[in-house]
Amino acid sequence: MKIFVDTANLEELRAAAAWGIVDGVTTNPSLIAKEGNPIEEQIAKICEIVDGDISAEVVAIEAKAMIEEGRKLAAIHPNVVVKLPLTRDGIQATSVLSKEDIRVNVTLCFTANQAMLAAKAGAYIISPFVGRLDDLGMTGMELIEEIVTIYDNYGYPTQVLAASLRSPLHVKEAALIGSHIGTMPFKVVDSLFNHPLTDSGLERFLKDYEKVFAAQKAG
């Protein structure tokens, strides 16, 4: 599964990119606003740090304006993927931009039927939100399973991006289901490294080594 980082923060992206395991970045208007720079500027900086798909979301809500904004965002860098919301206007704009070979990530997807519409419109990526469904007492991961099945049934090339992943368990479940991509905040990427037996095992290896070789040196 490709790992995308769900952040517009440059420090977090530099740290994650240094590990060599980051395949892309997703942003949204809330994440861009948090950093305080105009979107064009922030996305250009992100493209310098991570070599992979970088999603940049439009804020327009009418198809015509979405298309214009999408074209501008796509012109920032060849790695930019234009992010559009799953509304009637968003799907219309997806159809137009996809035909121009502009790659579109359709976001705010909460049903399998919505995901089918995005695939039919030519979306490059569909972003179903797992955590936000969990927040409502539903099992968000079931949506990922449904979409992966439907896309497989019909050979839709649209990639499934499990979004709103909030824990290492979410990440594992999305990967087991066969989601193509998982996007998660930096702290979730960081948490994927952790296991207490890794820490205690390393401590013991180093102590055993030190016992023999420090004693030899001293002798």
> Does position 124 bind ligand G3P by CB under 6 A?
no
Interacting positions 163-182 with ligand G3P (CB under 6 A): 163-164, 166
> Does position 6 bind ligand G3P by CB under 6 A?
yes
Site string for ligand G3P, 13-32 (x = CB under 6 A): -------------x-x----
**Residue of closest CB approach to ligand G3P:** 164
> Does position 132 bind ligand G3P by CB under 6 A?
yes
CB 219 to ligand G3P: min, Å: 57
Report residue 72 as tokens.
Answer: 């501008």
| CB closer to ligand G3P out of 31 and 150 | 31
* Catalytically active residues, by annotation: 83
| CB closer to ligand G3P out of 96 and 158 | 158
